[in-house]
Structure 1
């Protein structure tokens, strides 16, 4: 996984961790959206 994707996933995880929704689902969808 390229470094820029790792950074984007970390940002998504950090933002969605505080929301009352599943951050794991965002991490599963993010690589699909980035490709």
Structure 2
């Protein structure tokens, strides 16, 4: 059970990292398109 919870934590962290990276990319892209 604890192991499963750890996996969920890791996945959540990964998703957050991806989400931040995508937001950053969108910001850069907006700068380029202005």
Bigger Rg, structure 1 or 2: 2
Give the structure with the higher percent helix: 2
Higher relative contact order (CA 8 A, sep 6+): 1
- Normalising to structure 1: TM-score of the pair? 0.48
